[in-house]
Amino acid sequence: MDNILTKKISQTHDIKELLDKIPREKRTEKVWNALFDKCIEENVSTKRLGLQFVSIQNRTPNMCERALKNLGLEQISYVPTVDRKIDTISNKEEKEEYKKWLDGFSEEEKNSYRKWYDGIVMKSIKENNAPNIFTDKLEEHFGLVKIPPEALSFNVINAYLKERGPEGIKNIPIPSELTKYNNQYEDIVISAISMLPDLDYTGDKKNIFKDFDILDNIPEEYRTDRVVLDAIKKDPKYLNYADINKENFGELLQTAYKSKLESMGRSSLSDEEIGLIQRFAKNNSDLFSTLNVEILNPKIVSSIREDSIEKITRYSGLQSKILNISKSDISLTTFGFALENLKKDDLFIEPLVEQLSDSINIIYNQKYIVHNDEFHNHQTHDLSLIHI
pLDDT tens-digit readout, 81-92? 999 999 989 999
Bridge partners for 139 per DSSP: 143
- Structure confidence at residue 214 (pLDDT): 97
- Structure confidence at residue 369 (pLDDT): 44
This prediction's pTM: 0.82
- Structure confidence at residue 363 (pLDDT): 55
- Count the Cβ atoms, other than its own, within 10 Å of residue 247: 7
Report how far Cα 211 is from the mean position of its chain's Cα atoms: 10
**Distance separating alpha carbons of residues 160 and 171, to the nearest angstrom:** 10
One-letter identity of residue 312: I
Mean per-residue pLDDT for 206-235? Answer: 94
- Structure confidence at residue 345 (pLDDT): 54
Identify whether the C-beta of residue 295 lies closer than 8 Å to the C-beta of residue 335. Answer: no
**Distance separating alpha carbons of residues 50 and 67, to the nearest angstrom:** 7
Tens of pLDDT along 349-376? Answer: 677 777 777 776 655 555 444 444 444 4
Mean per-residue pLDDT for 278-283? Answer: 95
- Structure confidence at residue 103 (pLDDT): 95
Q: Which residues contact 83 (CB under 8 A, 6 or more apart)?
A: 114, 148, 150, 151, 180
Identify whether the C-beta of residue 304 lies closer than 8 Å to the C-beta of residue 335. Answer: yes
- Structure confidence at residue 282 (pLDDT): 94
* 11, pLDDT greater than 50: yes
- Structure confidence at residue 348 (pLDDT): 61
- Structure confidence at residue 33 (pLDDT): 97
**What secondary structure letter does DSSP report for 143?**
E
- Structure confidence at residue 378 (pLDDT): 43
- Structure confidence at residue 275 (pLDDT): 96
Kindly list the domain boundaries of the chain, sorted by start residue. 198-284, 292-388
H or E element: which one contains 139?
strand 138-139
**Distance separating alpha carbons of residues 239 and 237, to the nearest angstrom:** 5
Tens of pLDDT along 144-203? Answer: 568 899 999 999 999 999 999 999 999 999 999 999 999 999 999 999 999 999 998 887
Mean per-residue pLDDT for 90-108? Answer: 94
**Distance separating alpha carbons of residues 50 and 367, to the nearest angstrom:** 78
- Structure confidence at residue 382 (pLDDT): 46
- Structure confidence at residue 385 (pLDDT): 46
Q: Which residues contact 6 (CB under 8 A, 6 or more apart)?
A: 30, 31, 34
**Distance separating alpha carbons of residues 331 and 325, to the nearest angstrom:** 6
Of 319 and 340, the structure prediction assigns the larger pLDDT to 319
Tens of pLDDT along 300-333? Answer: 999 998 988 998 999 888 899 899 989 889 889 8
H or E element: which one contains 61?
helix 61-71
Of 137 and 236, the structure prediction assigns the larger pLDDT to 236
**Distance separating alpha carbons of residues 110 and 217, to the nearest angstrom:** 33
Burial class for 183, CB neighbours closer than 10 Å (0-12, 13-18, 19+): exposed
Task: Report strand pairing: 143-144 vs 138-139.
Answer: antiparallel
Mean per-residue pLDDT for 37-45? Answer: 94
**What secondary structure letter does DSSP report for 149?**
G
> In terms of Cα–Cα distance, which of 123, 106, 110 is closest to 151?
110
Provide the pLDDT confidence category of residue 142 given band limits of 50, 70 and 90. very low
Tens of pLDDT along 205-220? Answer: 778 888 999 999 999 9
What sign does the dihedral 234-236-240-244 (CA atoms) show?
A: positive
What count of residues does the chain have? Answer: 388
Mean per-residue pLDDT for 129-156? Answer: 75
> In terms of Cα–Cα distance, which of 325, 318, 323 is closest to 348?
318
* 289, pLDDT greater than 90: yes
Mean pLDDT taken over the chain = 88
